[in-house]
């Protein structure tokens, strides 16, 4: 086998591989001898079938295996001899004169093909002491806990049924409705409901609906008119005028809310003190998560500015394709266009190309840092994460579990974010982190560009 490098440009490499006809013939004969020892063909004694006869019967099929084995061998040789770390699987090109290829498959001509591949860049990981980030910290005060308690109590308040011919719906009442929505006099999909419960004033329905139900008596019907908001989630309804034929079937007045041990027991806790502790712990977890998202983003920003190296074009193209599919899916779901977002497709592609490059750069960098630091993710940690993933699909846990267990690539997608978080924690221990007390509004504020595609690294 002759392997010759024909291209070395940036991270791209290309090799020409030639398998001489004599070598092909030798490999083919060797395979035929093995088949001869096992062949059972009518008219011949076991192990005595002539090789020439076997060649006529199976030569083409065996030569296909010989060629595939040669391709795999060439691939291994190129990678091992050059100590390459591949960005993606190599591309094999058998393009050539068909007559020559046919002769090669008959072991009458040399077999030639090219192997094109992209390698990972060499990344020199330096020190991190020059990186400084700020970590926001917010305190949980009693007023916040009281606010959550009031909401929980309101959600669990009792409602007293209204009775009598004069009973009517008022703001704050829980009402039961039948309704039929129409546009231009015709019912529309999703516009009907029976025995629908709603608390008037909760803002659950589109603006104007709940207010026009107020004053309706039990058993009474009314047609109300309104318009869907311009930014309504269903594009086909956005901004359109509609009518709803509404019938009030029942109404119940709100009772007094009670914040006591009984409220705590309704949530499975022994008393009000334990409920308050649980609320505080939940808020603290939310604050810690929000803080981590912000300082992690700041760290990734710093790393993105600190390191510059050539990126494998194939990885970037792959990442861009993933991001762009998400963009198109979101547009299809929302019905919004690039023009609605104040941009053009060309400008959006340029922006998301930059995002793809950032994600690939950070993914490769974090992988290199993690490898040098000996960061590992245990099987137990992966299984725990998989359990949490499966639990998010109630009733389908076993299906989800089996899918991941049988799909190595899917399991890699479970492991990758765990590895990334461990590497981030490793780096955080090497940089200067300054805590700053901040109001909850600042901590919980979502920045305009703070989304997954922009903030995270691409799994490596």
Task: Collapse the DSSP code of 359 into the 3-class scheme (helix H, G, I; strand E, B; otherwise coil) and give the result.
Answer: helix
Q: How far is CA 401 from CA 38, 200, 385, 410, in A?
A: 42, 43, 11, 11
Mean pLDDT of 43-66: 69
Number of helices followed by number of strands (H, E) in the chain: 14, 11
Is there a contact between 297 and 450 (Cβ–Cβ < 8 Å)? yes
pLDDT tens-digit readout, 209-241 = 999 999 999 999 999 999 999 888 788 888 999
pLDDT tens-digit readout, 382-397 = 999 999 999 999 999 9
DSSP letters along 107-145, please?
Answer: TSS-EEEEEEEEBPPP------TT-EEEEEE-PPPHHHH
CATH C-level class of 158-254: alpha beta
- Please check the confidence at residue 138 and state whether its pLDDT lies above 80: yes
Q: Which one is predicted more confidently, 268 or 102?
A: 268
Sequence ranges of the chain with CATH classification 3.30.70.1050: 2-118
Query: The whole model's pTM is what?
Result: 0.77
Burial class of 195 by CB neighbour count within 10 A (0 to 12, 13 to 18, 19+): exposed
Cα end-to-end span (Å), the chain: 33
pLDDT of residue 45: 67
Which CATH number does 2-118 carry? 3.30.70.1050
Q: Which one is predicted more confidently, 153 or 33?
A: 153
Task: Collapse the DSSP code of 90 into the 3-class scheme (helix H, G, I; strand E, B; otherwise coil) and give the result.
Answer: coil
Instruction: Give the CATH superfamily of 264-455.
Output: Trigger factor, C-terminal domain (1.10.3120.10)
pLDDT tens-digit readout, 154-209 = 888 889 999 887 889 999 999 999 999 999 999 999 899 999 999 999 999 999 99
- Please check the confidence at residue 98 and state whether its pLDDT lies above 90: no
pLDDT tens-digit readout, 320-339 = 999 999 999 988 888 788 98
Please report which helix (H) or strand (E) contains residue 9, including its range.
strand 2-9
Banded pLDDT at 145 (limits 50, 70, 90): very high
Banded pLDDT at 24 (limits 50, 70, 90): confident
Sequence ranges of the chain with CATH classification 3.10.50.40: 158-254
pLDDT of residue 353: 96
> Would the CA dihedral through 379, 380, 383, 384 be positive or negative?
negative
227-244 in b/e form (b: 16+ CB < 10 A) is ebeeeeeeeebeeeebbb
Spatial separation of the C-alpha atoms in residues 237 and 188, rounded to whole Å: 9
332-365 in b/e form (b: 16+ CB < 10 A) is eeeeeeeeeeeeeeeeeeebbbebbbbbbbbbbb
pLDDT of residue 452: 46
Banded pLDDT at 273 (limits 50, 70, 90): very high
Cα 99 to its chain centre, rounded Å, is 47
Spatial separation of the C-alpha atoms in residues 144 and 146, rounded to whole Å: 5
- Please check the confidence at residue 361 and state whether its pLDDT lies above 70: yes
- Mean per-residue pLDDT of the chain: 89
pLDDT of residue 143: 93
Residue owning tokens 């939310």: 286
Residue owning tokens 């090109």: 93
Task: Collapse the DSSP code of 8 into the 3-class scheme (helix H, G, I; strand E, B; otherwise coil) and give the result.
Answer: strand
pLDDT of residue 22: 84
Sequence ranges of the chain with CATH classification 1.10.3120.10: 264-455
Mean pLDDT of 345-372: 95
The conformation of residue 198, written as its DSSP 8-state character, comes to E
Q: Which one is predicted more confidently, 333 or 417?
A: 417
Is there a contact between 15 and 4 (Cβ–Cβ < 8 Å)? yes
Q: Which one is predicted more confidently, 46 or 6?
A: 6
pLDDT of residue 47: 67
């Amino acid at each position: 086998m002759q392997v010759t490098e024909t291209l070395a440009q940036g991270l791209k490499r290309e090799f020409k591989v030639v398998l001489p006809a004599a070598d092909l013939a030798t490999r083919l004969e060797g395979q035929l001898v093995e088949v001869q020892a096992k062949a059972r063909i009518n008219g011949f004694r076991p192990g005595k079938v002539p090789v020439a006869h076997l060649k006529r019967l199976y030569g083409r099929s065996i030569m296909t295996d010989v060629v595939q084995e040669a391709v795999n061998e060439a691939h291994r040789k190129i990678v091992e001899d050059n100590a390459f770390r591949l960005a993606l699987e190599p591309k094999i090109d058998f393009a050539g004169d068909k007559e020559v290829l046919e002769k090669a498959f008959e072991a009458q001509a040399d077999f030639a093909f090219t192997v094109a591949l992209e390698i990972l860049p060499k990344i020199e990981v330096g020190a991190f002491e020059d990186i400084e980030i700020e970590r926001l910290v917010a305190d949980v005060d009693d007023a916040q806990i009281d606010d959550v308690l009031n909401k929980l109590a309101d959600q669990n308040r009792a409602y007293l049924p209204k009775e009598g011919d004069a009973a009517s719906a008022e703001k704050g009442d829980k009402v039961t409705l039948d309704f039929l929505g129409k546009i231009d006099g015709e019912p529309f999909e999703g516009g009907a409901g029976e025995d629908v419960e709603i608390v008037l004033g909760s803002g659950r329905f589109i603006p104007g609906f709940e207010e026009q139900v107020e004053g309706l008596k039990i058993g009474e019907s009314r047609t109300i008119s309104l318009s869907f908001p311009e930014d309504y989630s269903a594009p086909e309804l956005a901004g359109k005028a509609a009518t709803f034929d509404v019938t009030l079937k029942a109404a119940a007045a709100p009772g007094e809310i009670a914040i006591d041990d009984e409220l705590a027991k309704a949530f499975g806790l022994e008393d009000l003190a334990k409920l308050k502790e649980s609320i505080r712990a939940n808020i603290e977890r939310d604050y810690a998560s929000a803080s981590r998202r912000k300082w992690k983003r700041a760290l990734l920003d710093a790393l993105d500015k600190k390191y510059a190296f050539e990126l494998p074009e194939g990885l970037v193209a792959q990442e861009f394709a993933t991001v762009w599919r998400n963009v198109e899916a979101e547009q299809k779901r929302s019905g919004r266009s690039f023009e609605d977002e104040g941009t053009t497709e060309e400008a959006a592609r340029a922006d998301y190309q930059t995002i793809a490059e950032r994600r690939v750069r950070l993914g490769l960098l974090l992988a290199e840092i993690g490898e040098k630091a000996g960061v590992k993710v245990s099987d137990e940690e992966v299984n725990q994460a998989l359990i949490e993933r499966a639990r998010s699909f109630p009733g389908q846990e076993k299906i989800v579990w089996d899918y991941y267990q049988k799909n190595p690539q899917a399991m890699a997608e479970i492991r990758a974010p765990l590895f990334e978080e461990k590497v981030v924690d490793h780096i955080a221990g090497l940089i200067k982190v300054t805590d700053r007390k901040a109001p909850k509004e600042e901590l919980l504020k979502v920045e305009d560009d703070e989304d997954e595609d922009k903030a995270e690294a691409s799994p490596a």
